[in-house]
A and B are shown apart, each in its own frame.
Chain A
């Protein structure tokens, strides 16, 4: 393990991410692939829709950006490129999922986030954007992070 922390990550964050990555490589969560890169602070993760769900055979990409004081603070997780059509995923890739914001716990890992997101996708019954998609996306036009959004988590079904 390299001792030099990538810029922007605390020592503890870098250490933890190294270990998380190692663990991921040994045991990747089912349906996910980490795209290899030098950047420990930004992971690109390929998501494959689970079989027998609306997203079967579809591939999406998550971008996970880690703050300096990860894991005390949640990473920022968004879909890049073409976000899946889902009632909790906005067309700019932002994801309305409580564990990414208020309910984040430092005991969570990238792997557990991924599993939550896949589970969210898998339990979806319709492929649609959130009702307030347009308004929200307009508000985020200047590159606002979803972590700055005050989310209102109202739906615990999906």
Chain B
């Protein structure tokens, strides 16, 4: 024992056996303190560091960083010696409560600095907490949607034009004709095929909208969300919008944004590393028919005239992470816009996403439509933000082509598509933009509904994440795609011929969107 003591004595610098003056301590016996520290019963009084570093632990009371902390016996929470002396009044009659767990007799012990194992364990715990948080949020999200759907039903659907109702009731989106799915499956491989087929049982609705779909028909299964949240869900852009508007609602910049940035960043980092390890090769898996297909699209649809195409197989990029690329793209765009708000040439956007370089080479030849490129990009990306503004207007056919998912290149025949006006309307579901969106009667009625919904409605249209990059990555002439997606909304578009483009005002908003996208992806992955 004597040996041990003397060895310990040698370890503690004499300077650190005295209080450093963090507090005005009363009643602290310096000799006793020195003895406790030298005996290794209390942590040395290191001067606390302002900033964190790997080796240092933060005292949860003074928020300073120390090489080592005392640990409470009850709950093993750390505390620096000076804070402990403050809390544990030496001559107090009643036993001191643990400031962390409130257990009645607060006693600390000192075990030296945390070992690597302990730190690793803590990190694992934190990781679990993050994951649990994400699961919890997902559950909340589902509940919320269910509530909303319920409410919508209660509101009496006869007041609402079918088109609008569909967008609401279709929160879980994923409205894909079955043939479409099968086709996609054959293109994208067995795995995806299986997943989609699983999902199709749950949530596929024919795109034809002759009948209003009732709420109860809609799948609210987590599986469908899961699939949709993945980039390889093949959905029409408007459906993407709808879906994501609902599923990523919590990543709003509004009140629901309660996952902290740190978590987001951690998740993003984790996600990226996973991705790097396992999916590096996948970028090269772009189906070889892709370019041909896109070519044929361009060739076959030189103008906005109606082209009856019996069926176009969907082309899928096998890349497993779209949105991280997206996030990058958006972030880059945000930076760009921060520099010059005036205009962003399509070229610039094309450059943003390196991973799509292959497509870009091809697409660069279509840069003449720069303006609409930019607008559609912005359009999709930014209605996700809370403070969107009406930036500009454009013709639907300009946007149609740009709004496509990169994965969803082709369109169904006449049955499915909805034109720009329809998916712009999705952005109208973003409750925060309602006021700017009220145009014409058809919109008015929806706005009324939306106002009723306000809290939930806000969440409907919030994030269009994965449709974002596509806009930048597929800078075709807009008219190419117009005919393919037509049927349902054209007749209703009085007053909607002009579409509305949202653009987040600020750099911060755009960055937030980028964040939201990557977290959403991590979330999808985590499930």
Which residues of A does B touch, CB under 8 Å?
A: 1, 10-12, 15-16, 19-20, 26-27, 29-31, 48, 51, 56-57, 69, 71-72, 103, 105-107
B260 in the interface, Cβ–Cβ < 8 Å? Answer: yes
CB distance B99 to A26 under 8 Å? no
CA A16 to CA B77, docked complex, whole Å: 18
Closest to A32 in B: B255
Residues of B55-96 at the interface with A, using a CB-CB cut-off of 8 Å, are 60-64, 77, 83, 86-87
Q: Tell me, yes or no, whether B279 is within 8 Å of chain A by CB.
A: no
Cβ–Cβ < 8 Å partners of A29 in chain B: 258
Q: Would A26 and B260 be within 8 Å (CB), given that A15-B50, A105-B99 are in contact?
A: yes
A-chain residues with CB within 8 Å of residue B102 when the two chains form the complex: 103, 105
Ranked 8 nearest A-B pairs via Cβ: A27-B260, A30-B258, A105-B99, A107-B99, A19-B63, A16-B63, A106-B61, A26-B261
Task: Mark B169-194 against chain A: 1 for CB-CB distance below 8 A, else 0.
Answer: 00000000000000000000000000
A142 CA / B24 CA spacing, docked (Å): 32
Known contacts A57-B455, A105-B97; A71/B61 CB under 8 A: yes
How far, in angstroms, from A48 to B455 measured CA to CA in the complex?
A: 12
Chain B residues with CB below 8 A from A107, complex form: 60-61, 77, 99-100
Minimum Cβ distance to chain B for residue A130 (Å):
25
- With A12-B62, A30-B257, A31-B255 already in contact, the answer to whether A105 and B100 are too (CB < 8 A) is yes
Provided the pairs A26-B260, A27-B261, A48-B255 are in contact, do residues A15 and B64 lie with their beta carbons within 8 angstroms?
Answer: yes
What's the interface size class on B, roughly?
20 to 34
Q: Is residue B276 contacting chain A, with contact meaning CB distance below 8 A?
A: no
CB neighbours (8 Å) of A26 from chain B are 260-262
Q: Which residues of B contact A72 (CB under 8 A)?
A: 23, 86-87
In the complex, besides A10-B24, A30-B257, A106-B86, 12 extra interface pairs with C-beta distance below 8 angstroms are A10-B23, A16-B62, A26-B260, A26-B262, A27-B262, A51-B455, A56-B455, A72-B86, A72-B87, A103-B102, A107-B99, A107-B100
Question: Which residues of the partner chain A approach B86 to less than 8 Å between Cβ atoms?
Answer: 72, 106
Please measure, in the bound complex, the distance between the C-alpha atom of A26 and the C-alpha atom of B261, giving whole angstroms.
Answer: 6
B76 to A: closest C-beta gap in Å: 13
CA–CA, A71 to B23, complex, Å? 11
Please list 19 pairs of residues, one from A and one from B, whose beta carbons are closer than 8 Å in the complex, sorted by A's number: A11-B22, A12-B23, A12-B62, A26-B262, A29-B258, A30-B255, A30-B256, A30-B257, A51-B455, A56-B455, A71-B61, A72-B23, A72-B86, A72-B87, A105-B99, A106-B83, A107-B61, A107-B77, A107-B100
| Closest partner residue, chain B, to A26 (CB atom) | B261
> What 0/1 pattern do residues 433 to 459 of B give for CB contact below 8 A with A?
000000000000000000000110000
* Residues of the B chain whose Cβ atoms lie less than 8 Å from the Cβ of A106: 61, 83, 86-87, 99
In angstroms, Cα B258 to Cα A10, docked, is 31
Shortest A9–chain B CB gap in Å is: 13
- Give the residue name and chain of the A residue nearest to B144 (CB): A51
Report the bound CA distance from A105 to B102 in whole Å. 9
Please give the distance in Å from A134's CB to the nearest CB on chain B: 34
A16 to nearest B CB, angstroms? 5
Residues of A within 8 A of B257 (CB): 30
Q: Taking CB as reference atom, which chain A residue is nearest B250?
A: A30
- Structural contact, A1 and B262, CB atoms closer than 8 A: no
Q: How far is the CA of A57 from the CA of B453 in the complex (A)?
A: 12
In the bound complex, how far is the Cα of B165 from the Cα of A15, in angstroms? 53
**Chain B neighbourhood of A56, CB < 8 A:** 455
Whether B100 lies near A15 (C-beta < 8 A) is no
A17, chain B: closest CB distance, angstroms: 9
User: Shortest CB–CB separation between residue A51 and chain B, in angstroms?
Assistant: 5
Let me know if A12 and B22 touch, CB within 8 A. Answer: yes
CB distance from B64 to the nearest CB of A (A): 7
* A1:B258 contact, CB within 8 angstroms: no
In this complex, the member of A16, A19, A57, A105 whose beta carbon has the largest number of chain B beta carbons within 10 angstroms is: A105
CB closest chain-B residue, reference A19: B63
Contact A1 B50 (CB under 8 A): yes
Complex Cα distance, B62 from A11, in Å, reads 10
A99 to chain B minimum Cβ distance, whole angstroms, is: 10
List chain B residues, Cβ under 8 A from A48: 255
A105 to B60, CA, bound (A): 11
Contacts of A51 in B (CB 8 A): 455
User: Could you tell me if B99 and A15 are in contact, using CB atoms closer than 8 angstroms?
Assistant: no
Please indicate the chain B residues that have their CB under 8 angstroms from the CB of A1 in the complex.
50
Interface mask (B259-287 → A, CB under 8 Å = 1, otherwise 0): 01110000000000000000000000000
Output the least CB separation between A86 and chain B (Å).
20
* Smallest CB gap from A104: residue in B: B99
Q: How far is the CA of A19 from the CA of B87 in the complex (A)?
A: 20
**Given contacts A1-B50, A51-B455, A105-B99, is CB(A15)–CB(B62) below 8 Å?**
yes
| A48 and chain B: residue at smallest CB distance | B255
Closest chain B CB from A114 CB (angstroms) = 12
Complex CA–CA separation, A55 to B87 (angstroms): 37
Q: A149: shortest Cβ distance to chain B, in Å?
A: 21
| Docked complex Cα distance between A26 and B260 (Å) | 7
Name which residue of chain A comes closest to B82, CB basis: A12
Q: How far is the CB of A35 from chain B (nearest CB, A)?
A: 16
Give the shortest distance, in Å, between B124 (CB) and chain A (any CB): 21
Complex Cα gap A71–B87 (Å): 10
Closest to A51 in B: B455
Residues of A within 8 A of B454 (CB): 57
The CA of A31 and the CA of B252, in the complex, are separated in Å by 12
Bound CA span A122–B255, Å: 15
A106–B86 CA distance with the chains assembled, in angstroms? 10
Residues 92-134 of chain B: 1 if any A CB is under 8 Å from the residue's CB, otherwise 0? 0000010110100000000000000000000000000000000
Q: Would you give the 0/1 interface string for B30-45, flagging 1 where the beta carbon is closer than 8 Å to chain A?
A: 0000000000000000
In the assembled complex, the CB of A10 is this many whole angstroms from the nearest CB of chain B, namely 8
Distance (whole angstroms) from the CB of A102 to the closest CB of chain B: 10
Q: Return A90 CB to nearest CB of chain B, in Å.
A: 26
A contact residues around B60 at 8 Å (CB): 107
Q: How far is the CA of A30 from the CA of B260 in the complex (A)?
A: 10
Q: Which residues of A contact B23 (CB under 8 A)?
A: 10, 12, 69, 72
In the assembled complex, how far is the CB of residue B14 from the closest CB belonging to chain A, in whole angstroms? 24
Residues of A within 8 A of B50 (CB): 1, 15
In angstroms, Cα B23 to Cα A103, docked, is: 22
Q: What is the bound-complex CA distance between A19 and B49, given in angstroms? A: 13
